[in-house]
Chains A and B, each alone.
Chain A
């Protein structure tokens, strides 16, 4: 992938970003870094844009000096940049002037002010006392008959933590405020100084259920720096693993969405098929989540003909069952009734917030980096990118089914056309202080990894923009007007992982 760098002063940032947007650039994220180790004074912000269909990225970057750590916020023009700028404020202490909402994001209010853990002079394991005197502030709706319902961070089921405040009138939600980043573990800081080979294991553990996609984004970023050509057979096997990951997620989510309305038939069949797929993963790779399959320069282990045949046979059966189950679910009036018009994400919001993945595509925003910024062997395979227009829970349900059908087809082609040859090549030494970007389409949408190398093949800065990070800001906007009991359903239909958002 070709990357064009546009280097400007802080004052020209906003203009430069707008120029790229007007040139049909799609905003992905902003990456901040502390580059004092490279003799730069001191911080750098990089706004990353994709040019879909042209396999091209534009990076607009500017130095932010330590003496005056401010830069004009881009969020007023590009609302999708809001979180990234808030995060950089939390972790690096650089101030986006004019940002509409600089409340703490990643580090909650109990973190002391003026302490910035991602600066290079902050030690990885240094802990800070919790200051419980400060409380969380958030916008409220007030008035007669308006009540507030707090939920979480620990939820009733076996699910991840997040805190939600619903302001309601009767059953109807007027406003939803979500507080996330409870599972912020400091993964990016942990990676600094790690050998790049070890960083791969960390990348796989950002998110359990998108391990392949994260691992792939990571190795692509590194291969981007080293200029490595991955052997053809490995590119095909990478596609195979990525689609196996998509399948167990999509099939599992089809069942999970039924859990949002307590529809036992859908829940149990979804869970059964997902288990079958995960057992297939285990048999093929030796890991139910396909961890350990991707390597720098290729893949870790060859897949034998017998295993490929086993995949083919298993998937034929799963596909048959899935068709039947989805047909059954969608023939149920109650299901269709609950799914329709719930949690509508309008096309306009989907586009303005640069949402990604099945969420975006179910709202008629046609983005998929497998087609738009092709990687591995995707450019050699024929597949459709389905889209729907309604943007409600029903659309997101159908979207997953349509995409699963494409995945079956992709895997079929991969197995049929599997080239022979090597599966891995050495990546060689990496030039210190260069950066690479890897982008892949996970089951939840595009994951971007930015890796900057340090001395001796180590990591200097690592930033991960996962698909949920792009989509979470859209969720609270889809809830007002719905009733509280529909929230679990709406939330499940987005199926946004917290772990890879929070890192």
Chain B
């Protein structure tokens, strides 16, 4: 954990000056992945000490963190949010639902994975992934950010190593 933390702060400094701004989008999750993402901001994990912040507007964001498997009723909102994020668009899929659809998969109301519509930089598996795993996923995405060009030429993303649960 400490190793991840050190790497994370130094990469954020190198790549983004002093701060990384993240916009979270719930594309149809069960609320479990939200809770763990919120936990990152509690006094135990306190990700703000690395210069990471969750922002209200996608236009201010360097990274999109998506939870849930993209419901039909949210697809349009997710598309609009994605379009509003500046290039290069880093997208981290949090949880089994966002990665591959999870238990719900593809239904009349659910697409079953964010990569059905957008290229994903890093997949963080788990149901939900623990806060530490989300943090590691964010680090992997930053380390790959140089691979992203504007506009992005999509290629294979990879999954983080700490799949939990």
A interface, CB within 8 angstroms of B: 107-108, 110-111, 117, 122, 124-128, 130, 132, 153-154, 156-161, 181-187, 189-190, 201-202, 205-209, 211, 268, 271-272, 274-275, 278, 286-289, 291, 497-500
Contact = CB atoms under 8 A, between A and B. Distances in A.
B25 A271 contact: no
Contacts of B31: 160, 207-209, 497-500
Contacts of A275: 39, 42-44
A114 B116 CA distance: 27
Interface string B80-94: 010000000000000
Interface string B118-131: 00000000011010
Contacts of B25: 154
B77 A126 contact: no
A383 B147 CA distance: 59
Given A158-B54, A160-B34, A206-B30, A186 B77 contact: no
Interface string B36-47: 111101111000
15 contacts: A107-B109, A111-B72, A125-B106, A130-B75, A158-B37, A161-B26, A182-B28, A183-B71, A190-B104, A205-B104, A207-B31, A208-B32, A208-B33, A289-B32, A499-B31
Given A202-B103, A286-B165, A289-B32, 10 more contacts: A110-B72, A127-B108, A181-B73, A182-B73, A183-B73, A183-B74, A185-B69, A205-B30, A275-B43, A500-B31
B30 A207 contact: yes
Contacts of A205: 30, 32, 102-104, 127
B76 interface: yes
Contacts of B130: 288
A186 B108 contact: yes
Given A205-B104, A274-B42, A291-B127, A184 B73 contact: yes
A352 B110 CA distance: 34
A208 B33 CA distance: 8
Contacts of B104: 185-187, 190, 202, 205
Contacts of B54: 157-158
A401 B78 CA distance: 37
What are the 3 A-B residue pairs with the smallest beta carbon separation, nearest first?
Answer: A208-B32, A186-B107, A156-B56
Given A117-B108, A160-B34, A187-B104, A499 B29 contact: yes
B105 interface: yes
A268 B77 contact: no
B68 interface: yes
B35 interface: yes
Given A158-B54, A183-B68, A190 B107 contact: yes
